[in-house]
Amino acid sequence: MNQFFTIIISMKTLFESYKDYFRVGAAISGIILMNDEEKAEHFEHMKARYEDFKKNFKPTPEFPEFKFPEPKPFPKGDMPDKELAASQFNLVVAENECKMGSVYHKGPDGKPFFDFAAADRLRDFAKKNRQDMRWHTLVWHNQSPKWIFENADGSKVSKDELEDRLKNYIFTVGERYRDDICSVDVVNECISDKNFVLRDGADRSQWFDILGPDYVDKAFFWAKEAFPKSSLVINDYNLEMVPGKREGMYKLLKGMLERGVPVDTVGLQMHINIEYPPVSEIEKTIELYGSLGLKVIVTEMEISMYADKEQNEGKFEPRKEYTPELLAKQADRYEEIFECFKKEARAGILKDVILWGITDRMSWKNGFPVPGRTDAPLLFDGEGKPKAAFDRLCK
């Protein structure tokens, strides 16, 4: 008999902890799948952006001096995010690489062409790790290429031409990925924060401006043809935070369903924070859309350390220390919200929960809404070590 005892500590992974309820996904930054050369090149762009930011910095009461940390080069070899992405999650989505601006380009001959290299890389990663994959996103007012709304002379393109370009995009993506994609964000962020109806041209949607209000319905009908087996999602932020926006989305969906539009799922982005919203509002939101017979998925969750209560007045909190007390509070928030998710999954409404990133180092919240203010909204710290919130969720 072996004189040494082997102690096997069996710790459940994140997705295993919820396998009876919902898939647990993560947004994957393309950077973590890059090789060392690509990472070094990407870092040069980041440095240039930082220098620009420094040059154009204007002091505010919260940030009287430029004290933002310089970007650090990415480590050589695999970053911790990559191993965690493969082991802790059973669903992935590209943080940027499947947006229209990343894949749909105009060549020097004026003809559109597609670059699927980064999207393919994520698809291959997902296949290798036996994970499902989502597509984010087909129609969005942000991160769309500028050329798509313009004629060769820079004037505004006609409705017919823009419809053709959009259809070409949707059907080309569908042809390539339809068998690999479990759900598609067909339309992203279409509800205005001003009046809670469809975001229009004055509110930065060139889709609405040129195609008119029925672009949403049309995009869903085309997506249904292009991705016949995927679930079709309308995705937006602050639905759990702002009751008026939640209602606005409800009205839009009710009309869409009456018109026979094939939307089947509402995506709640859930970029929430350490104070807001209370879990009761999250529950109410999920159940409201469930009452329409729709499924709900949480598409981009993180819990920021900053509530920024006065952000409507343009005021933001200065950088704070992430004390053990604050990290424990974040863990409490994650835990109570995931308990609510379990309840809504049992009710048959909630299907997936996706976090918008893996380690705090890579979170987009380090630059948003305050450039340079680092945040700590995810389940793993900058080095990839599990935070209190992770331990609390894996039980």
Binding site for ligand XIL (CB under 6 A): 95-96, 188, 269, 300, 364
Give me Rg for the CA atoms of the chain: 21
Amino acid letter, residue 75: P
- Our CB check for ligand XIL shows the closer of 49 and 72 to be 49
> CB of 85: closest distance to ligand XIL in angstroms?
15
Q: Which residue is nearest to ligand XIL (CB)?
A: 364
Kindly state the smallest distance separating residue 369's Cβ from ligand XIL, in Å.
11
Residue 30 or 157 having the CB closest to ligand XIL: 30
Q: Which of 97, 240, 300, 344 is catalytic?
A: 300
Distance CA 129, CA 141 (A): 32
Nearer to ligand XIL, 331 or 362 (CB): 362
CB of 16 to ligand XIL, least distance (A): 26
CA of 38: how far to CAs of 125, 265, 346, 366, in Å?
17, 36, 44, 22
Tokens found for residue 213: 């209000």
**CB-based contact 363:357 (threshold 8 Å):** yes
Burial state string for 203-236 with b = 16 or more CB within 10 A and e = fewer than 16: bebbbbbbbeeebbbbbbbbbbebbeebbbbbbb
Q: Which two tokens stand for residue 370?
A: 């305050």
Q: Which is nearer to ligand XIL, 331 or 360 (CB)?
A: 360
Nearer to ligand XIL, 49 or 385 (CB): 49
In whole angstroms, how close is the CB of 300 to ligand XIL at the nearest point? 6
Instruction: Report in angstroms how near the CB of residue 336 gets to ligand XIL at its nearest.
Output: 24
189 is catalytic: yes
- Closest CB to ligand XIL among residues 177, 392: 177
300 counts as catalytic: yes
| Residue 363 CB, nearest approach to ligand XIL (Å) | 8
Say if residue 369 is preceded by a cis peptide, omega within 30 of 0. yes
Separation CA 318–CA 373 (nearest Å): 8
Minimum distance, C-beta of residue 335 to ligand XIL, in the bound complex (Å): 24
Active-site entry in 189, 240, 302, 344: 189
Query: Which is nearer to ligand XIL, 331 or 356 (by Cβ)?
Result: 356
- List, by residue number, the catalytic residues: 189, 300
